[in-house]
Structure 1
């Protein structure tokens, strides 16, 4: 799954990167985004005749939900079932978005210890997570991040990973419809190798901590035979 990530770019920077118009001020830069936090998203708006940079609550709240807190359990949508899930399928067909991120976190358990890892592009570029969105009670924009089976070196940290899309898939993804199998096809080996797996300190485990220091690398020595996914 993807339960924590970092996103630090301004709405102006995101507008330039994604060729989008900012219609909402991006949330403050965060190196420790947690479920239900406000996050920047890029989506297509008919009202603005194209892509917009908007702000959504992380955790999709289905229209039938009576309490927005339900979104805390729906921060991720599995790419294998997003097209058929009652909660996610309508958004998959008509309401897709890109969720910009600097990188994401996962934890590995070794004995009684948990080691945090930060996955981020080696060239410091921005990742575009595949996402879906919906409006709850016509007033709250909410979203979920799609996940896929982890591959390459990323699989050593967790068995799932956020599905990030290369630039050449952005337009087709945002357009809606299309061949789900083609849009959600596995990333290439080169795309996976472009992501660095970095051990970081334990402070990221507390949602009250925030700052660039959370992503700073630390030295760890973890015997592979003693590690288990957490």
Structure 2
């Protein structure tokens, strides 16, 4: 994922997850400073995003958490919807700034390296969640090879059946930050990504989210053997379940949030090709008219 999504509505998340309980009200979309505008159609890391997590488990002891999770497998009453911040914030050594990791590689979860933030979070029941989006954007450079300027063409990727995409994610504990806005989420999430090789999205990007397609996937990620599922999942497993289309290059600007942000359009290179073809056609027509006029004068 390249860091832009179309947010799913709270009602759509409820219907898709089968969860009614809400821990937070939908977060206002207009924020100042870091929480810059996130209108929903072209949202960036740092925005509030709807996630489903196990809310009945609050114990710090991993063993107790695991026992409770096994006892409530498939019970949506143990789950709740909560707005979280998309992207886990880390302090940077560069001038006191910070960086935000909005993705986490599945290899980091499964490689036995528990030094990664995602591996530490995923091993606890409270550290896993499911993030829901209407779709996500990916970019691809298009145009003649060797050209001075090539088009950075965005594409929208969605479920073929129109439902929100459920993305396996990891979740931080609640953060008590001095700069946190009172009504803004204090938990942060990162989406798990996997190689796209062998799948339908390989032409577009070499990584794709770890999709959760049904109740079984949902239960396994939150309650069950999440590591086995993540290890065995392949990009080809989602063949025929996704659809994609080119969208306006206006969304190349993170601030753009127009109603046409995710609407299908012609690829920019096709538009350019059409313009060039029209230009040549007009020039040919003009030459023909000039030739005919010249003949009449003679």
The separation in 2 between residues aligned to 1:9 and 1:171, in whole angstroms, is 22
The separation in 2 between residues aligned to 1:160 and 1:78, in whole angstroms, is 9
Q: Deviations over 1:25-83 (max 9, x none)?
A: 22456111101111111110126961110011111236xx58996452x1100011124
Farther off after superposition, 106-115 or 22-31:
22-31
Mind listing any 5+ residue stretches in structure 1 that lack a counterpart?
Answer: 224-230
Per the alignment, residue 40 of structure 2 pairs with: 30
Partner SS state of residue 80, structure 2: strand
Q: 2:241 is matched with which residue: 187, 194, 208?
A: 194
Farther off after superposition, 99-108 or 188-197:
188-197
Contact kept? 1:61, 1:136, Cα under 8 Å: no
Contact kept? 1:41, 1:100, Cα under 8 Å: yes
How many aligned residue pairs are there?
Answer: 218
TM-score (normalised: structure 1): 0.83
More helix by share: 2
Closer/same/farther in 2, CA of residues 47 and 66 from structure 1, 3 Å limit: farther
The separation in 2 between residues aligned to 1:91 and 1:23, in whole angstroms, is 20
Higher CA-based Rg = 2
Per the alignment, residue 120 of structure 1 pairs with: 158
TM-score (normalised: structure 2): 0.65
Per the alignment, residue 102 of structure 2 pairs with: 75
1:220 paired with 2:219, answer: no
Contact kept? 2:199, 2:235, Cα under 8 Å: no
Q: Deviations over 1:3-25 (max 9, x none)?
A: 11111312x44233213211112
Per the alignment, residue 5 of structure 2 pairs with: 5
Farther off after superposition, 30-39 or 136-145:
136-145
Per the alignment, residue 160 of structure 1 pairs with: 207
Superposition map of 1:72-111 within 5 A: 72=100, 74-83=101-110, 84-86=113-115, 87-94=117-124, 95-110=127-142, 111=147
Q: What's the RMSD between the two structures over aligned residues?
A: 2.7
More strand by share: 1
Farther off after superposition, 167-176 or 31-40:
167-176
